[in-house]
Chain A
Amino acid sequence: EAGVAQSPRYKIIEKRQSVAFWCNPISGHATLYWYQQILGQGPKLLIQFQNNGVVDDSQLPKDRFSAERLKGVDSTLKIQPAKLEDSAVYLCASSWGLQEQYFGPGTRLTVT
């Protein structure tokens, strides 16, 4: 069974530029999550989707971050405009029902 796929794996941009990350969850997993992991810290939930609806986006900085999951499968997370403090690894995870979450390899973003 294929795992959670993410792209790109690495991205370097200048502050005030835009960037987008893509995630394809494990087949059949209705719930999809985006996390931000700053170096030396645990991941922090940004947004959670159940199929194509948002369940929780309370920690998403909505002035610059947006995410969508239009067909209830893959998802895109966008940052516009990026700030230096957005440098982090962005992790996508998926799960089925109340089962454990499986994580993708992440996208390492560096904002200069």
Chain B
Amino acid sequence: AQKVTQAQTEISVVEKEDVTLDCVYETRDTTYYLFWYKQPPSGELVFLIRRNSFDEQNEISGRYSWNFQKSTSSFNFTITASQVVDSAVYFCALSESYSGGGADGLTFGKGTHLIIQP
């Protein structure tokens, strides 16, 4: 069975600090996909990034960066120079492929509530 663990329930930092959100996953499949979603106070889940299990390259997008390490089954998310608008709940999620050619539903972690104080 697949599982996603986000051990940090809540993180509070002051604006402009860097912050890393941890994600550890479990899966028996060799092919799988990892995601991060943002859920602001408005409630809608916003897609941030998707990573394939066969691509361990780290990725940077503006102030956001992701560190994928298969050896430790981790997919951590770092926000550099945080801003108040980054305040939200962030979810890490896992999906496995299936024989029908599409992706399974997502297994989500419990989420990390990030609070950026001005």
Please report A residues at the B interface, Cβ cutoff 8 Å. Answer: 30-31, 33, 35, 40-45, 48, 50, 55-56, 89, 91, 93, 95, 97-106, 108
Contacts and interface: CB of A to CB of B under 8 A. Distances in A.
Contacts of A40: 110
Contacts of A91: 45
A35 B47 CA distance: 15
User: What is the interface of chain A mostly: helix, strand, loop, or mixed?
Assistant: strand
Given A43-B108, A45-B105, A48-B104, 14 more contacts: A30-B102, A31-B102, A31-B103, A35-B106, A40-B110, A41-B110, A42-B91, A45-B107, A56-B104, A97-B103, A100-B47, A101-B106, A103-B37, A104-B44
B98 to A, nearest CB: 7
A19 B108 CA distance: 26
Nearest to A53: B100
13 contacts: A40-B110, A41-B111, A42-B91, A42-B108, A43-B45, A43-B106, A45-B106, A56-B104, A97-B103, A99-B50, A103-B45, A106-B43, A106-B44
